[in-house]
A and B are shown apart, each in its own frame.
Chain A
Amino acid sequence: MCINMIRTSYSDAILSGFDYLLKNYPEVFVLGQGLWSPWYVGNTMKNLDKKYGKDRIIDTPVSESACTGAAVGASICGMKPIIVHPRMDFMLYAMDSIVNQAAKWSYMFGGQLNAPVTIRSIINRGGSQGAQHSQALHSWFAHIPGIRVVMPSTAQDARDLLISSVLCPDPVIYIDDRWLYEQTANLGPIKETPLNAITPKCLKEGDQITIIGSGYSTLLALKASNKLNCDGIDAEVFDLRVLNPLNSKNLLDSVLKTKRLLVIDSGWKSCGMASEVITSIVEQIPTDTLIDQPRRITLPDCPAPSCEVHEKDYYPNEEKIIKFINDEYYF
């Protein structure tokens, strides 16, 4: 192992991404609710206000709409703002600024202006928090031309893709998941990578089934695939990383090799990310490629339940995935 590699958690990796950006780019500033308190954003913003000042780390009133719009407006004027929404559910008040304004600011005016804002949105669910404190709405945003949607699943990407997102000239929704905060990785020195060069990444090679995830579902896929190896099933695992615009090239190559496809998504089934990924692959491969039907594991089509009994049934987990693969595919 290289000596300047440090074992870092996903949440600390986010913090180090912020630190890097604030240190190196004076035009970067952050606004959102709870930035002066670990209550909202865990340790991902810890002490940044003390280090960089409350002018650049702005804890705001409970005004998602105005604050997101303000971040968009500041981005049009040469700044690189990051607006933080401690929960994706709260961000719904800000849909106009995201969908009508930021996503279209370049197109509507023939490219003379752009809104390089980063919208950091946290998926925070489980623990009986219920229907309005649990949503993962990445598919919605991935539907909109003009916004890039980023979902890191590893500590390395949590840091590096935050940096790529903030430096990107387009509006980006960067979605991190609290359930990933304890994941660790050995992080090397930072190397800036343009966001449009980021493609789905193979996290485990295999030749019998391609499993594709994003964010937390990638972690589930990876864990399940390690256990599947003991059953003699050799799965290849891909992490989408960037959901929109979706680059399906290496996913396609993988499916042509494994001839089996499973997509796991932390959102709902209907009109979801899983449908999009499956379609964009299937429409490009010969009809006789697949040995089994392409399948998806998603949330059931109901709001997140509060009751712990229902909650256990609601979210996919490692065991369910292994069972699903054993039941639904012939090897």
Chain B
Amino acid sequence: MSMSVIRAAEIKIAEAKKNGLIKGPVHLGVGQEAIAVGVSKNLRNSDRIFGAHRSHSHILGVDNDLHKLFAEVLGRNTGFSYGMGGSMHLASKSKGFLGSVPIVTGTVPLALGAGLASKLQKSGDIAISYLGDGATEEGVFHESLNFARVSNIPILFVVENNLFSSHMHMSLRQPLNTINRFAKAHKIETRLIDGNDVVEIYRTTSEFIRKMRSKPEPYLIEAITYRWFGHVDWREDIDVGVARSKKDLLNWKKRDPIKRLSDAMINKKIWTKEKQDTLDLKVDELIDENWEKALKDDFPDRKSLLDNVYKYD
């Protein structure tokens, strides 16, 4: 799915959260769309992808069903998780998106196991673990790097370093502003890239993934980026960080991954301003159509409260 659709979907969600239509917390990744889009272009349905709390882009990257995302954040039974998850618990099994949950770093070892499984199954499939800079502060991340390396597990750690863990800037949490040193410490090949450059993300991922499919091994990408909204929900000006200034935000907005791609393509004369405008209109229509549809869907049946606690019974 394209960056513009993901952006528009999240802006729609932001509005709906503001208007009280969405009940649960939503963690928006506006400004960070390039990463999921660049990575996902290299994936196939049998790969195994795990996300976290800010994962709308991660799931849309491989499953373009907007209606299911909207229905899920609205708690409807037609959503990605049949209305049982909301924004923070998303899955799309058939597309290889095997779950995103809000325990920070919780899915990192799960992705590791998914990679281990694919190695044992000799499937050539790989595991993707999306995580944030904050998540690298949990012990299990370091255990996972070590285990991935000693067991040669085909897992790509995609660290979205947006410089913040909720309100705390990197400089208040770690001695350096980048985290790829952890990969180096575990002899894992790594690259520090511009997380707002979709082409660079695509190229790096494609190079790593090609290698991983033929020889199972872990890799780590650190993509530097920035989220435009606060840590949670729709506002820019609350929960935005001890060290986050308006000026920083404006500067980062100038590095908008969508505009950068569009401008670069127009410069190279493979795209035009008119085409961009038509596209934007189409995107808006797509969003509205799916949103309206989702709003009409039902909530899960009250009788289903105890369903799916166990598979047996």
Chain A residues near B108: list those with CB within 8 A: 66, 69
B48 at the interface (CB under 8 A from A): yes
Q: B113-129 toward A: CB 8 Å interface, digit per residue (1/0)?
A: 11111101100000100
Q: Is the CB of A73 within 8 A of B116?
A: yes
B182 beta carbon closer than 8 Å to chain A: no
A195 touches B312 (CB 8 A): yes
Bound CA–CA A195/B312 (angstroms): 9
B111 interface residue (CB < 8 Å to A): yes
Within B50-99, the residues touching A (CB, 8 Å) are 50, 80-85, 89-91, 93, 98-99
Residues of A near B89 (CB, < 8 A) are 108-109
| Contact stretch, chosen from B144-152, B217-225, B254-262, B285-293 | B144-152
- The answer for the CA separation of A265 and B54 in the assembled complex, in Å, is 44
Q: Is B84 a contact of A72 with CB atoms below 8 Å?
A: no
Q: Are A70 and B116 in contact (CB under 8 A)?
A: yes
B-chain residues with CB within 8 Å of residue A168 when the two chains form the complex: 312
B147 nearest CB neighbor, chain A only: A66
What does the 1/0 interface line of A104-123 toward B look like (CB < 8 Å)?
Answer: 01111111111010000000
| Distance, CA A91 to CA B223, complexed state (A) | 34
A70 with B147: in contact, given A77-B118, A100-B101 (CB under 8 Å)? yes
A11 to B93, CA, bound (A): 39
A61 located at the interface, meaning its Cβ lies under 8 Å from any Cβ of chain B in the complex:
yes
- Residue A245 at the chain B interface, CB threshold 8 Å: yes
B140 contacts chain A at the CB level, 8 A cutoff = yes
Tell me, yes or no, whether B214 is within 8 Å of chain A by CB. no
Q: Is the pair A65, B310 in contact by a Cβ cutoff of 8 Å?
A: no
Could you tell me if B110 and A72 are in contact, using CB atoms closer than 8 angstroms?
A: yes
Residue of B nearest to A56 (CB): B120
Taking a contact as CB atoms closer than 8 A, the residue among A63, A73, A112, A145 that contacts B117 in the complex is A73
Q: Does B241 contact A (CB under 8 A)?
A: no
Instruction: Give complex CA distance A74, B85 in Å.
Output: 22
| A8 nearest CB across to chain B (Å) | 28
Given known pairs A55-B120, A110-B85, the reply for A76 and B307 (CB within 8 Å) is: no
Query: Chain A: which residue is nearest B151 at the CB level?
Result: A58
Contact indicator A113/B312 (Cβ below 8 Å): no
Contact with A along B280-313 (1 / 0, CB 8 A): 0000000000000000000010000001111111
- Pick from B83, B103, B310: contact of A245, CB below 8 A: B310
Q: Could you tell me which residues of chain A, from 41 to 57, have a CB within 8 Å of some CB in chain B? A: 55-56
B106 adjacent to chain A (CB < 8 Å): yes
A65 in contact with B81 (CB, 8 Å): no
Min distance, Cβ A111 to any Cβ of chain B, angstroms:
4
| Contact present for B114 and A73 (CB under 8 Å) | yes
Q: How far is the CB of A127 from chain B (nearest CB, A)?
A: 30
Q: Is the CB of A194 within 8 A of B312?
A: yes
Tell yes or no: B31 within 8 A of A by CB: no
Kindly state whether residue B139 has any CB partner on chain A within 8 Å: yes
The verdict on A196 contacting chain B, using a C-beta distance below 8 Å, is: yes
Per a CB cutoff under 8 Å, which of A70, A75, A106, A110 touches B310? Answer: A106
Give chain B residues whose Cβ lies under 8 Å from the Cβ of A74.
113-114, 116-117, 120
Q: Give, as a whole number of angstroms, the nearest-CB distance from B77 to chain A.
A: 8
Query: What's the nearest-Cβ distance from chain A to residue B123, in Å?
Result: 9
Q: Is B143 an interface residue (CB 8 A)?
A: yes
- Does A234 reach chain B (CB closer than 8 Å)? no
Query: B101 contacts A111, CB within 8 Å?
Result: no
- A60 interface hit (Cβ, 8 Å): yes
> Contacts A61-B147, A67-B147 given: A169-B113 contact, CB under 8 Å?
no
**Complexed CA–CA distance, A97 and B103 (Å):** 10
- Residue with the greatest number of chain B CB neighbours at <10 A, chosen from A60, A65, A100: A65
Q: Which residues in B have their C-beta under 8 angstroms from that of A69? A: 106, 108-110, 112-113, 140, 144
How many Å from the CB of A216 to the closest CB on chain B? 27
Given contacts A109-B85, A111-B308, A148-B310, contact A76 B114 (CB under 8 A): yes
A159 vs B121: C-alpha distance when bound (angstroms): 26
* CB-based contact B307/A111 at 8 Å: yes
- Residues of B contacting A78 in the complex (Cβ-Cβ under 8 angstroms): 117, 121
- Cβ 8 A contact of A61, one of B48, B84, B120, B143: B143
User: Is the Cβ of B84 less than 8 Å from the Cβ of A107?
Assistant: yes
A108 touching B85, Cβ below 8 Å: yes
Residues from chain B with Cβ under 8 Å of A67 in the complex: 109, 143, 147
* Contacting residues, chain A, for B80 (C-beta < 8 A): 109
Contact assessment for A73 and B309 in the assembled complex, using a CB-CB cutoff below 8 Å: no
- Residue of B106, B109, B312 touching A170 (CB-CB under 8 A): B312
Q: Whose C-beta in chain B lies nearest to the C-beta of A101?
A: B106
- Listed by A's residue number, 30 A-B pairs whose Cβ atoms lie within 8 Å are A65-B109, A66-B109, A66-B146, A66-B147, A67-B143, A70-B109, A73-B110, A73-B111, A73-B114, A74-B120, A76-B110, A77-B113, A77-B118, A96-B106, A97-B106, A100-B101, A100-B103, A105-B99, A108-B89, A108-B101, A109-B99, A110-B81, A110-B83, A113-B98, A116-B311, A146-B309, A169-B311, A170-B311, A170-B312, A196-B312
Q: A60-B147, A63-B143, A145-B309 are in contact. List 11 more A-B contacts (CB 8 A).
A: A63-B146, A69-B110, A73-B50, A77-B114, A77-B118, A96-B140, A106-B311, A109-B99, A110-B82, A111-B82, A169-B312
A residues apposed to B, CB below 8 Å: 29, 55-56, 58, 60-61, 63, 65-79, 81, 96-97, 100-101, 105-114, 116, 145-146, 148, 168-170, 194-196, 245
* In the A-B complex, the 7 residue pairs with the closest CB atoms: A69-B109, A73-B113, A110-B82, A73-B110, A66-B143, A70-B113, A111-B308
